């Protein structure tokens, strides 16, 4: 990607990147790329998004495409969604659109709906408050900070990374850059806006997002950001577990789960992020294979990710050669998963599915001809357990013949599987004999 910068653009970037979010930047001028200097076209923007942008503009409001969508368009990628920034307040946006609903208590947003599924998010430009503006009650600070309306420049400096703070102005189709994001896009580098120490203190999840964007976009992380992630890693244990869990799922939806978690482990971020979790010998190789499988199917299975995270530790507890009773294997698998599930408040159904996959892998490793085989093969969960077993076997360079035997058994069905259950393990059921009613005694 090659971008043309106006005269003085590089000097602007060097002076602004690395400034703290509260810096008074009123004297600086943004880098502005006119329509002829960039490749973003309105044809690449969703039709409903354009309707919202144009209506805001016609009524005298600033209307910008903001955030990751501008970044992706400049990189030639298809945005997942389009977000809009404006100087109109949420109430003013609502007056313009009958199909608008205001959401959020702390961070008030306008959602403009088209049809049943399409939602365009419209956010009012915000700014960091000055210390003397904060209310006396500390408990009210968060609500106050999130809802201080500001200018586009102030809004840009509130964002996390320079490449996510670019604006597309519908008024003249220009790209506006207040923080040096255009140059970082050209250099394929990810930078935090402001001091990384301060930004990670504000929101520890930004450390995880930095690794995610670096992996997704194949961008380098500057040395200072990497050093501050290592320094501030313990802070992520204070983040809301539900939010961290959602970020973890995003990694796998974007196909970078294995790469990001491996780097998080190297930087000391993985254990505090995942409640003290320790990876096993095949964890990252197995997660990479899972990523490839999810990409082919188009579906991310959280229960399979959960089972994959713990399968190495499961083998230490339940070696296939131990011939443990299945009830004991079930108990060990459930006990192993419980702390992680409790930390992230996962539903019991997820834990149950992951446990059944681990127990299924135990049955597959143990081989054919064991008691309960027919019932196991009849269970719909057997196919999912076999998929995990297949990927694990591939991760450790296991025995392909064992896979082939079970593949044939699953294909043929339980009644035709080779090496069926031993005769001794089968039970013969008889209908109970009906007893004749006793005749009344004769007198």
What are the helix (H) ranges across 318-398? 326-344, 348-366, 373-378, 381-395
72 is annotated as an active-site residue: no
Task: Supply 394's token pair.
Answer: 């591939």
Q: 125 and 155 in contact (C-beta within 8 Å)?
A: yes
Where do we find the tokens 């006793």? 438
Catalytic pick among 11, 37, 72, 81: 81
Classify the C-alpha dihedral 253-256-257-263 as positive or negative.
negative
Tokens of 203: 């929101």
Closest CA to 112 of 135, 94, 89, 128: 94
**Catalytic residue status for 160:** yes
Q: Which of 83, 155, 177, 301 is catalytic?
A: 83
- The verdict on whether 203 is a catalytic residue reads no
Q: How many helices (H) and strands (E) does the chain have?
A: 20, 10
Catalytically annotated residue among 87, 155, 160, 301: 160
**CB-based burial of residue 134 (10 Å sphere; 0-12 exposed, 13-18 middle, 19+ buried)?**
middle
Indicate the Cα dihedral angle 192, 197, 202, 204, nearest 10°: 80
Rounded (5°) CA angle 207-213-219: 110
Which positions are annotated as active-site residues? 81, 83, 160
């Amino acid at each position: 990607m090659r971008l043309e910068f106006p005269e003085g653009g590089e000097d602007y970037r060097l002076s602004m990147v690395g400034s703290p979010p509260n810096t008074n930047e009123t004297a600086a001028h943004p880098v502005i790329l006119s329509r002829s200097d960039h490749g973003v076209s309105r044809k690449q923007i969703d039709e409903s998004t354009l309707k919202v942008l144009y209506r805001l503009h016609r009524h005298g409001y600033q209307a910008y495409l903001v955030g990751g969508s501008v970044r992706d368009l400049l990189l030639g990628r298809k945005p997942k969604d389009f977000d809009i920034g404006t100087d109109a307040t949420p109430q003013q946006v609502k007056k313009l659109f009958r199909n608008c609903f205001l959401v959020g208590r702390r961070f008030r947003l306008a959602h403009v709906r088209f049809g049943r599924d399409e939602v365009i998010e419209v956010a009012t430009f915000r700014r960091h408050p000055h210390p003397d503006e904060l209310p006396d009650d500390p408990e009210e600070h968060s609500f106050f900070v999130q809802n201080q309306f500001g200018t586009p420049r102030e809004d840009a400096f509130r964002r996390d990374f320079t490449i996510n703070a670019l604006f597309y102005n519908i008024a003249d189709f220009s790209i506006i850059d207040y923080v040096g994001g255009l140059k970082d896009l050209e250099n394929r580098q990810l930078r935090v806006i402001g001091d990384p120490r301060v930004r990670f203190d504000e929101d520890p999840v930004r450390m995880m997002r930095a690794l995610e964007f670096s992996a997704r976009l194949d961008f380098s992380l500057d040395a200072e950001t990497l050093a501050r992630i290592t320094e501030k890693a313990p802070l992520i244990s204070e983040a809301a577990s539900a939010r961290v869990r959602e970020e973890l799922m995003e990694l796998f939806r974007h196909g970078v789960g294995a790469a990001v978690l491996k780097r998080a482990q190297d930087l000391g971020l993985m254990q505090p992020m995942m409640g003290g979790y320790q990876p096993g010998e095949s964890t990252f190789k197995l997660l990479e294979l899972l990523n490839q499988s999810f990409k082919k199917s188009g579906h991310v299975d959280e229960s399979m990710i959960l089972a994959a995270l713990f399968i190495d530790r499961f083998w230490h507890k339940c070696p296939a050669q131990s011939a443990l009773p299945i009830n004991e294997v079930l108990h060990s698998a459930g006990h192993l998963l419980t702390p992680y599930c409790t930390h992230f408040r996962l539903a019991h159904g997820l834990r149950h599915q992951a446990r059944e996959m681990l127990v299924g892998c135990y049955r597959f490793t143990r081989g054919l001809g064991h008691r309960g085989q027919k019932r196991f093969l009849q269970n719909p969960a057997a196919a999912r357990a076999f998929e995990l077993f297949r990927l694990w076997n591939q991760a450790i360079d296991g025995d392909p013949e064992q896979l082939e035997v079970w593949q044939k058994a699953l294909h043929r069905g339980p009644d035709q599987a080779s090496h069926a259950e031993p005769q001794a393990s089968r039970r013969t059921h008889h209908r109970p004999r009906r007893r004749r009613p006793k005749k009344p005694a004769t007198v």
